Every structure is written in structure tokens, then in C-alpha cells.
Structure 1
């Protein structure tokens, strides 16, 4: 708990699961953390062997942070917390509440791959006033990895606005706003795997 028991450490691990990020990118994915809090926490995580810090000779200076294997072994912990939150605390958004779909998707590597999911599925969160967010989800040997990158040859792509993704992953699982290109069956397997756990359990019961 000395290493991971504060408010931010596991969230930083979650947000680096897709690959290295710069300081400013982590600030964007972690609303609520101050510049000094983030700087202090990153320094501590590097010292604790959870992150590596890579400096590049660029102007302006560029520094990337990346997970170590020690940190990657925490992914099942993040997955367990995500599962618990999905089962016991997941509700429709309150008025004015922002939902970070990327945070949900970056929790995937801590979960077991949905049964029947294979290969690569590209997920696109369209943003009319900003760049789209793209996630490549790969299922292999029962494990899932997520890379935040666009693919030109993904066999399956699921896309939608942030509001459409929030609706699809919410308690009502309203997928009408999502568009699927490619393997419909694989898309449904992945979306079913992302569905709220309590809804799936109720369906089984």
C-alpha cells in the first residue's frame, strides 16, 4: 500500500497501459490532479521502479514515461477494481457529469478477454471539436492489450461519438449510436464483454 495506495498511482498505471506518454498527456487524462501532484507522483513511481523516464534531445524538451514490467503486473488489480466498480457503482451519467470512455477502455488489459474474442478490433471515439480517440484492442491467448493508435487494416471497427459510447456502455447498453464495420460477430463479442457485469449476471440468472 505504500507503493500503490494513494489516489493517483493506479490511475497513472491505467493511463500508461497503451504506451508511453508525455507529462502533458497524463495531465489531460487525469483531470483533477495538480501539476505538482503529478510531478511528485511520477518521480516517486520512477524511484519505486514502476515507471521509466526517457528524455529526448528535442526543442522544447520531451520526456516520456512508460510502465515497467513491475507496474504491468498491477493490471489485474486495476481490472478487479474496474470489475467491482462496474458491478456496484456503474450508473447512467448524472446531469453534467463527464464520462471518460478512454479510461474505461484502458482498463481492459486487466480483465480476461471475453470468450470468443480474437484478433484486433479498432474502437473509435469521434469528437467533432477535437481529434478522434482511437484504440486498437488485441485479444490473444486469453489476454487483452490496448494501444492508442489508428490502424489501416483492422478487420473490425466500432465507432461512435462519446455520447454513443456512454450509452452503449451504460446500464441500458443502448448500442444504436455505434457503427460497426467488418466482423459483426467479433464486434458484438467485444461489446458484450464491455457490458455492465450486473446486467450480464442478471441475464444469466
Structure 2
């Protein structure tokens, strides 16, 4: 399941489910194939200055340069794999509020483990940022979107849970349910929708406008 949901099946808590617990290793394994090409290309590209030095200054042959490209690509793959695994184990998959009737604590659930409960008096604001890029064509159809849920603490620390997959979640009902859940508290819950028009391919510098709305 990809869409975010509010789980009230437990009478003691309310869970904002950002990702079903399929296990961090399974989650990483599902994400890894889609990033292999990108990590290999990025690793190879970052070594460009080294290849230039090898070719121009050190006058190395093509064989050694291609070997350096392969090593850089492999390093990029290893680093990206580590980042995916780290995110799978550290990423926040649920926001848990308790007690259900009148929450006074928030707990971050990170895949296989759960953080210590945090008093809701430490939380200043929770907001959903929904950014939409619309086509430059007359129909203005959305071409991309990004949805992120943020938790701002009163010490100015920002908690960013797992990203929400676009096109799977209607942010307006989610915002309303969060407001309803946290109504007994002093936590501010907002929805910020930003729209901008993509730049036409023939324009070097984009001049797309943007609009924002807050709940």
C-alpha cells in the first residue's frame, strides 16, 4: 500500500501510517534496483576531474582511464547502497499519537524499532508540503508532484519522515484527519499547496509562476 492512512484500529493510539512495515531490508531491496543506473552514472561522473588529469597530465592510456571510471562507478554504487540501507532502518514509517482520545505524546516508529515517546508540548507544528509542477501547455495538466510531511519541534529541530509517494495520497483529507486527531492539543497542523508551471523546452530560463495555499 502506497497511500498514507490514519490507523485507529488500536483503541489506545492513533497511527499516521506513512509506509507499511514490510521490513527495512525488503524496502531497501525494492528501492535498490531503480537506483542502480543512477548511482553508477553519478559515481562515474564525479571522477571526471581525475580522468582529465590522468589523460592530460599523466598521459595514461584508455585502459587505465576506463579502469578508473569503473572503480568510481563501483564506489558510487556502494555509497548509494549504504544510503538506502541507512534510510530504510532510520526512516520514520509512522507517527504514533497517544492516548487516542486526547493525545499528549508523539512517538516516531522507524521500521523495526520505536523511539521513546515525546511530549506533544515539544511539537510546534506539523505540516504537509504538496508541490505540484503543471505542464506549460494550455491544459496545465500536472506532470510531477512531491509530498513531504514535516514535524517542527519547539527547539527548531525539523523531523522529516519517509517521503510520501505522489499521486497516491489526497492531502486535503489527510490534513483534515490530522487536524481532527490533534484538535485537543496546541499543535498547529497546516497544509501548504504550491503550484508552478514548468518552463517550455525552448526557454533557457524558466518564468513559471507559483501559487501557495495554506490550511
TM above 0.5, yes or no, is: no
* Structure with a larger share of its residues in strand: 2
TM-score, normalized by length of structure 1?
Answer: 0.27
* Structure with a larger share of its residues in helix: 1
TM-score, normalized by length of structure 2?
Answer: 0.26
User: Which protein has the larger Cα radius of gyration, Structure 1 or Structure 2?
Assistant: 2
